[in-house]
Structure 1
Amino acid sequence: MTPLGMDAREEQVFRYLAANPRTDLETLVDRFGAEAADALEGLRRLGLVSGEPLDVRRPDQAFQRLVREKEAALFAAKARVAELQEIYDLAHRPGSTGPVVLLTSRTQLQACMDELELSAAQTLDKFITDPYIPLTNVHTPGDDARRGEDGTIRMPRRRVLYEQAVVDDDRALEGIRNTMDLPNAEIRIAPSLPYKLIIADGERALVPAYARDHDDKLSTHLITRGTELIAHQMVFEQCWTAATPLAGGNELLNEEFSVEEKHIVGLLVSGATNERIARILGAGVRTVQRRLTDLQQRAGVRSRNELIRHAATRWMN
């Protein structure tokens, strides 16, 4: 299970708990030694173990997120290889200008991001990753900058996927709230994302030129066609499917819940605290607490953890 982030001892402990539910830590230490405590902590970080006495989640559910994250990372790696291959081919093809333009200045990147944001007519897909660095203005639903030549407001179908760390960043609050207010907008949250990404109308994409751990955080490729654009769209679709809905695009929640409740459920399942939910929604913490109490009564559960499980398995599936 090493590819999923588990070492050998963690897998031993997980196997034991799967066969022996409601085991206490003392029993694990007696069986596996002092390393059992470290193994248990690792399993908790992966979201595989909970409770006291200890119990494990169903493997088919517990490992689903980890497998999807690895699949997304593999898709991302394939996309980068395809991009590098096309760049190589273009550089070795006489007289070719190619579909990839390298942006190296903040001014270039800001202008291109704004152009994609405001000119998209049909679809706009975005990865928002940590660290969150706002480079363009937040354009409200009625902003004149969104108007086309005929004077109508452009409102494409918008799918924005936020990395969890961005949701916890106060600098992103204005952007998140604005996206919630935009027509045709859907928001989802993922524990992690492979890289920053913007795709407009499936025809143009902005992708970092280097991996996330590279010192150069600014250089970005504008891709206008080719196999790498298709590959990045595939990565987006994979990550989007695996993410937790926060707003829009979920008919079950739209029918059964108010807009505020729908946002609270999405943030709750994504792991946000009451205080964070309140800040994102611009509501009071007591208001959020009351809404959560109402949701617990509706779900027929008594605790926050039970409500999260119920929401994830019943309301959002």
Structure 2
Amino acid sequence: MDMAGHAGLDPADVDVFRALLARPETLAADLDPAAVDRLEALGLVRRGVDGALAALPPHRPLLAEAHRAQSRADALRDTAETLRAEFHRRPGAARDAVEVVVGGPEIVGAAVQIARQARRLVRGFDRGPYFHAGSLPDDAQSRSWTRGVPWRVVYEGRSLQAEPPERWKHLGSTPGETGRILPRLPFKLLIADEDAALVGLAGAAGQGEALVVRGSLLVDAFVRLFELQWELALPIADVARGGDDGADGLGGDVLTEVERRLVAMLSSGMTDEAMARAIGLSHRTVQRRLADLARRVGAEGRFQLGVQAARRGWV
């Protein structure tokens, strides 16, 4: 196998090493002096007092050099990322960092591109109006997960109120996704790492405009906004699927699966009508269940019920 191109070795160095293997005790003066110096520095040859050279076992020295080369490559990549970020954050860079995208299909296409370029993490705000049904085209989110890129998504409860129960069943179910929910979100948002963001603007379903922002202080601001909203949001598992065993393990109170889902939906800001559609109960039954829960914890009204539910670890 040809060793040419290995870190720290030129083709001439490899030729000299092989010549030593074929003719032991060759004098250094009979070989390329620069190649001999490089081989000696790598620990691949030893020079005798009479000027004769002896080849040494190459495995350990070459592995050590490979590790050093990898460290240099990693440092170079880190420097490239740092300088790229500084370049995009230079004064006035924001003027060149924003692109306007118009129309539903074009916005979806931009979202797919953003998702595909992520290498570490995708963050997102999911709210209506929706430009498409189901997952992104070409399973962009699933493909991110196959590359080891997780998703963190905050859903807007108000936008989901009019959605059918099937929508709730699939909420947060994509592999690699962690979902949370808030009553309201400011806009649609998709962020790839800390490098690019897609910001959806208001518009009717299937229409609207979006901004694609790349590598600027604006992306940093969107990341900070997302993290603030993420901390406030309610984990979506109980909202979408209900609890596993119905016990909260804190205050000793036991809730049924339906009660846990109702409390979680209440905390997310959903109306009684929306909760009834999502669970498949009548509006009156939902109201009665909530009233029973309020009596159990001594709450007067929806707000106090939500506070008591949080204190008892129900959400």
Give TM-score scaled by structure 1 length: 0.50
Q: Which one of the candidate residues 142, 158, 168 is aligned to 2:152?
A: 158
Give the letter aligned to residue 230 of structure 2. W
The aligned residue for residue 236 of structure 2 is 247
Q: How does 1:147-186 map to 2 (within 5 A)?
A: 147-148=142-143, 152=146, 156-162=150-156, 164-168=157-161, 170-171=162-163, 175-183=167-175, 184-186=177-179
Report the identity percentage. Answer: 24
Separation in structure 2 between the aligned mates of residue 310 and residue 176 of structure 1, nearest angstrom: 25
Give CA-to-partner distance per residue, 1:3-32, whole Å, 9 cap, x none.
xxxxxxxxxxxxxxxxxxxxxxxxxxxxxx
SS in 1 for 2:133: coil
Q: How does 1:1-317 map to 2 (within 5 A)?
A: 89-90=92-93, 98-116=96-114, 122-129=120-127, 132-139=128-135, 146-148=141-143, 152=146, 156-162=150-156, 164-168=157-161, 170-171=162-163, 175-183=167-175, 184-191=177-184, 193-208=185-200, 218-243=208-233, 245=234, 247-248=236-237, 256=248, 261-282=259-280, 288=286, 292=290, 295=293, 299-301=296-298, 305=302, 306-315=304-313
* Pair 1:86–1:268, CA change in 2 (3 A): same
| Native 8 Å contact 1:274 1:285 kept in 2 | yes
SS in 2 for 1:277: helix
Give the letter aligned to residue 298 of structure 2. V
- Alpha-carbon offset, residue 309 of structure 1: 3.1
- Alpha-carbon offset, residue 234 of structure 1: 0.8
Give TM-score scaled by structure 2 length: 0.50
Root mean square deviation, CA, Å: 4.4
Give CA-to-partner distance per residue, 1:167-220, whole Å, 9 cap, x none.
33x2476554422433542222134x3332122334321014x7x59xxx7332
| Native 8 Å contact 2:94 2:216 kept in 1 | no
* Pair 1:156–1:311, CA change in 2 (3 A): same
Separation in structure 1 between the aligned mates of residue 280 and residue 307 of structure 2, nearest angstrom: 25
SS in 1 for 2:171: helix
Give CA-to-partner distance per residue, 1:145-186, whole Å, 9 cap, x none.
65549x948772322131x53133x24765544224335422
| Native 8 Å contact 2:297 2:308 kept in 1 | no
- Alpha-carbon offset, residue 112 of structure 1: 1.6
Question: Which moved further from structure 2: 282-291 or 109-118?
Answer: 282-291
SS in 2 for 1:315: coil
Give the letter aligned to residue 133 of structure 1. P
Separation in structure 2 between the aligned mates of residue 86 and residue 119 of structure 1, nearest angstrom: 19
Give the letter aligned to residue 167 of structure 1. L
Give the letter aligned to residue 229 of structure 2. C
| Native 8 Å contact 1:119 1:154 kept in 2 | no
Unaligned runs of 5+ in 1: 1-84, 93-97
Count of residue correspondences: 211
Give CA-to-partner distance per residue, 1:96-120, whole Å, 9 cap, x none.
xx44333234332121224445775
SS in 2 for 1:179: coil
Give the letter aligned to residue 152 of structure 2. R
Which entry has the higher C-alpha Rg, 1 or 2?
Answer: 2
